[in-house]
């Protein structure tokens, strides 16, 4: 049973560029959440997708946007990158129904903005 | 606003020396409290979900407990492979199901 997968594993960009990160949820899961984790901090919630719509959003600017596809996979897009966007970006998935509150995380994408 | 505070920030134990990690929380309408383990550069690995005060769950050397204001992760006779950062998070559930995390506790177990 494949867990949550993310690509790429690492990424280096320069200020002002745009980036797209990808996530495939665990088999049987239909809800995808994205988190940003700075060094030495806990993950911070960015947004959550369910049935291809953004269901909930954290305190992140509009430069952060996302999408969910019919197969439940998801993308996180960040425009006009800032140095402060350097972080580990985590995708988490959860199932419908019983156990829906528990989120399972992927390995993350390490983004470095120079 | 939901808040999660973990203490201590870091803990160094000798192999076999049992201890507890604390997670204090403030949330309106707790749906679940979650413990995760995170190794350096990796994603968080799910350990436990606790739903109501008085609930306890165990897995190998780990035992998680929950009260109305805090949760403890007890580590019995730890081994060096238990070294990691342990994260605590809370959720309200339903349409507001985001996880709010603490900063984590970095555990180091010396052989």
- DSSP assignment of chain A equals ----EEE-SEEEE-TT--EEEEEEPPTTEEEEEEEEE-TTS--EEEEEEETTEEEEE-S--TTEEEEE-TTS-EEEEE-S--GGG-EEEEEEEEESSTTTT--EE---EEEEE-
Q: Return the pLDDT at B95.
A: 66
Calpha distance B36→B47 (Å, rounded):
5
pLDDT digits (tens, 9 = 90+) for B78-104: 999 999 999 999 998 766 689 999 999
Residues of chain A below pLDDT 70: 1
Q: Return the pLDDT at B28.
A: 87
Question: Is the CB of residue A20 less than 8 Å from the CB of residue A34?
Answer: no
Q: Return the pLDDT at A95.
A: 87
A vs B: CB pairs below 8 A? 67
- B98 and A48 within 8 Å at the Cβ level: the answer is yes
- Nearest CB neighbour to B103, from listed A41, A106, A108: A41
Name all contacts of A46-55 with Cβ < 8 Å and 24+ positions apart: A46/A76, A48/B97, A48/B98, A49/A74, A55/A31, A55/B95
For residue B86, the cross-strand partners are B37, B105
Q: What is the DSSP letter of B96?
A: B
Q: Return the pLDDT at A47.
A: 96
Edge-to-edge order in the sheet of strand B62-66: B3-7, B19-26, B70-75, B62-66, B56-59
Cβ–Cβ contact A101 with B under 8 A: yes
Going by C-alpha positions, the residue among A75, A78, A96 that lies closest to residue A87 is: A78
Residues of chain B below pLDDT 70: 94-96
- B98 and A33 within 8 Å at the Cβ level: the answer is yes
Burial track B83-95 (b if 16+ CB lie within 10 A, e otherwise): bbbbbbbbbbeee
Q: Return the pLDDT at A19.
A: 98
- A58 and B98 within 8 Å at the Cβ level: the answer is yes
Q: What is the sign, positive or negative, of the torsion defined by CA atoms of B37, A90, A31, B27?
A: positive
Chain B 63-82, CB below 8 Å of chain A: which residues? none
Distance from the Cα of B14 to chain A's closest Cα (Å) equals: 23
pLDDT digits (tens, 9 = 90+) for A74-95: 999 999 999 999 999 999 999 8
Calpha distance A94→B17 (Å, rounded):
35
Chain A 8-67, CB below 8 Å of chain B: which residues? 31, 33, 35, 40-45, 48, 55-56, 58
């Amino acid at each position: 049973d494949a867990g949550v997968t993310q690509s790429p594993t690492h990424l280096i960009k320069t200020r002002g560029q745009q980036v797209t990160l990808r996530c495939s949820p665990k088999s049987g899961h239909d809800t995808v959440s994205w988190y940003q984790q700075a060094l030495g901090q806990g993950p911070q919630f960015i947004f959550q997708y369910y049935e291809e719509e953004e269901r909930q959003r954290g305190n992140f600017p509009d430069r952060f946007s996302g999408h969910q596809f019919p197969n439940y996979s998801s993308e996180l897009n960040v425009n006009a990158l800032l140095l402060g966007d350097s972080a580990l970006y985590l995708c988490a998935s959860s199932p419908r129904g019983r156990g829906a509150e528990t989120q399972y995380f992927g390995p993350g994408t390490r983004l470095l903005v120079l | 606003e939901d808040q999660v505070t973990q203490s201590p920030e870091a803990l160094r134990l000798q192999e076999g020396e049992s201890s507890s990690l604390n997670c204090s929380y403030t949330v309106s309408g707790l749906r679940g409290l979650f413990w995760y383990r995170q190794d350096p550069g990796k994603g968080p690995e799910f350990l436990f979900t606790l739903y109501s005060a008085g609930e306890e769950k165990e897995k190998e050397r780990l035992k998680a407990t929950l009260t109305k204001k805090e949760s403890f992760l007890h580590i019995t006779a730890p081994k060096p492979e238990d070294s990691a950062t342990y994260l605590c998070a809370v959720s309200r559930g339903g349409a507001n199901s985001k996880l709010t995390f603490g900063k984590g506790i970095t555990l180091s177990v010396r052989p």
